[in-house]
Amino acid sequence: MPRNGEPARRRLQQAAVELFCERGYDQTTAAEIAARAGVTERTFFRHFPDKREVLFDGQAKLRELLTDAIARTPATLKPLETLYRAFRSVEKPLEDNRPFSFPRQQVIDRSPALQERELAKVAALAEALAQALRRRGVDERLAALAARTGMETFRHAVESWLADPAGGVGAHLDRAFDELHGLAASFSTRKTRHRQ
């Protein structure tokens, strides 16, 4: 009944992050989060479908940014280059979010349950990228494979950037894509050379 100032949703997220940092995810009950936010446990589950979801909200925005970037990209680019440019285009938002992302990632890294959810979000994001590529005319199979491997490369870059922000996301992204190029260019099952 009491509808306090700050929207309950934000208060719940805030309370959840605090408690997860203090005691860890498993040692925190949904009721405790709700209590700190000044609402009922039932209200918690009205705002979030489950306890984990309270940590995964930025995902939707990131997906939108990336798929929009892909849609705006020239259709003549190779799939991986399209993805690379899309990733570069979210450099700013990522870096602005670092103060929030860093502790959040620490919490996730300490809880298998949260890691699972994160992997699910990453997979969903990759699927969205594949769809965006298809809309740019990329073949279905290629789009799926490019989106997945590109996504893993992006994760690789973001993780190393979180561990060491020097150079910004961009430097880590370039390095990761160059590593991928080095890995894949030097091996083909048939010994054919692909046109540039």
Residues engaged in binding its own copies (CB under 8 A): 78-81, 84, 112, 115-117, 119-120, 123, 141-142, 144-146, 148-149, 152-153, 155-156, 160, 173-174, 176-190, 194-196
Full DSSP string of 78-141: -HHHHHHHHHHHTHHHHHHHHHHHHHHHHHHHT-HHHHHHHHHHHHHHHHHHHHHHHHTT--HH
> From the list DNA, its own copies, none, which binds 20 (C-beta under 5 to 8 Å, kind-based)?
none
- What is the rounded distance in angstroms from the CA atom of residue 167 to the CA atom of residue 85? 17
> From the list its own copies, DNA, none, which binds 115 (C-beta under 5 to 8 Å, kind-based)?
its own copies
Q: What is the smallest separation between the CB atom of 12 and DNA, expressed in angstroms?
A: 9
Angle at 58 between CA 129 and CA 133, to 5 degrees: 10
Q: Residue 113 corresponds to which tokens in the numbers above?
A: 């349950």
Contact between 2 and DNA by CB under 7 A: the answer reads yes
Binding DNA (rule: CB under 7 A), the pick from 14, 21, 36, 43 is 43
Q: Residue 155 corresponds to which tokens in the numbers above?
A: 């994760």
CB atoms within 10 A of CB 83: 26
Binding DNA (rule: CB under 7 A), the pick from 17, 18, 36, 38 is 38
Q: What is the smallest separation between the CB atom of 20 and DNA, expressed in angstroms?
A: 11
Contact between 141 and DNA by CB under 7 A: the answer reads no
Binding DNA (rule: CB under 7 A), the pick from 16, 18, 22, 39 is 39
Supply φ then ψ for residue 123, to 5 degrees. Answer: -65, -40
Q: What is the smallest separation between the CB atom of 58 and DNA, expressed in angstroms?
A: 19
Q: Which is nearer to DNA, 44 or 177 (CB)?
A: 44
Q: Residue 158 corresponds to which tokens in the numbers above?
A: 């973001």
Q: What is the smallest separation between the CB atom of 13 and its own copies, expressed in angstroms?
A: 21
> From the list its own copies, DNA, none, which binds 18 (C-beta under 5 to 8 Å, kind-based)?
none
HSE-up (13 A, CA, CB side) for residue 154: 26
Q: Which is nearer to its own copies, 37 or 144 (CB)?
A: 144
CA distances from 49 to 46, 53, 54, 55, 146 (A): 7, 7, 9, 12, 31
